[in-house]
Structures are given as structure tokens and as C-alpha cells.
Amino acid sequence: MYKLNSIDALDALKMSIQCETDMKIFYNKVASLVKNDDAEAILKGLSEKEEKNRLKLIKTYSKTSGKKILYLNLGKKHKLTSLMKCTDDPNDAVRIVKKNEKELKSFYSTISKRLIESELRALFRDLAMEREQHLALLEASFVEPLKLDQEEEMENANQVINEVSNSD
């Protein structure tokens, strides 16, 4: 993992672009695993926010460095190794994404304190606050025990109610 106490602005931006890319992919995968339309909508919405952040970071990188990023091919030096990979179990994946959000919040918060330029500090502070919002949404939307690998229980309950009503 990169030593955050010696990180410069361009490396921080590159790492952040990679993190946003990884989280977008993560959210899309989890969304494809869940069998609940509401859960899928929440996860896809978070994926879209990751893409907006990625584009904002690319723009900031170009402005700061004077270079355009055509593609991002980073070595291990620019990977946030504390982010966990998505599993094929939707329940575990949601638990992992919560941990990843906490990791990113900590990363962005630390970066915001290390950089000198006020505009970049504010950007990373905003990213850390957004992670807090993501986490709050995830905590409120996905309460244990998770049952994301099952069809919506409401559908089953409604069927039972209809059957009972029709038998009267």
C-alpha cells in the first residue's frame, strides 16, 4: 500500500480515480446479484455516483497536471489494497461494500489533511463526506439479517393474502 504520509496530489488523484472505478464495478456486480428491485436500484444509483466522481477526478487530474488521462493503468503503488473484492454472494457483497465505504472515507479524509492546495483539500473532504452519506444509505437500506439472495418476501406475502381472500 502507498504511504499516505508522503503522497503527492497527482498520486492521490490517480489512486482516487482507480478507487472510484473499482467501486463502480463493485456496485454494478452487487446490483446484478440481488433479487430485490429496490436494492438493485439503490446499488445502481451508487454506481452512477461513482462514475460522476471518477469523471470529476479525471477533470481535476487534467487541470492539475496539464495531462489528459486516456486510460488508467496503475501499478500496485496506486491501488488502495485495503479495498476488498466483490464475492458472488449478494449478502456478503453488501457487507463488504460497507467496509469498502469506510476504507474510502478514511482514505479521502487522510488525503484531505495531507495536501496543501485548498481546492484539492476541499475535493477530498467532499469525497469523504459523500462516503459517509453512502454508508448511511447502505446501513439504512440493508439491515441485518440480509436476504438479498431471495425474492421479495412481500410478493410471497401478497400471494398468501390473495389466496386466503379468494378462498372466502
Q: Is the pLDDT of residue 65 over 50?
A: yes
Q: Is the pLDDT of residue 161 over 50?
A: no
Q: What is the pLDDT of residue 154?
A: 41
Q: Which three cell numbers stand for residue 9?
A: 496530489
Q: Is the pLDDT of residue 158 over 70?
A: no
Q: Which domains are assigned to the chain?
A: 4-167 (1.20.1260.10)
What's the pTM value of the predicted model, to 2 decimals?
Answer: 0.81
- For residue 165, the number of C-alpha atoms closer than 13 Å in the C-beta half-sphere is 6
Give pairs for 151-158: CB < 8 Å, separation 24+: 151/35, 151/36, 152/35, 152/36, 152/37
- Spatial CB neighbours of 58, under 8 Å, sequence gap ≥ 6: 17, 69
Q: What is the pLDDT of residue 82?
A: 85
Q: Which three cell numbers stand for residue 30?
A: 452487487
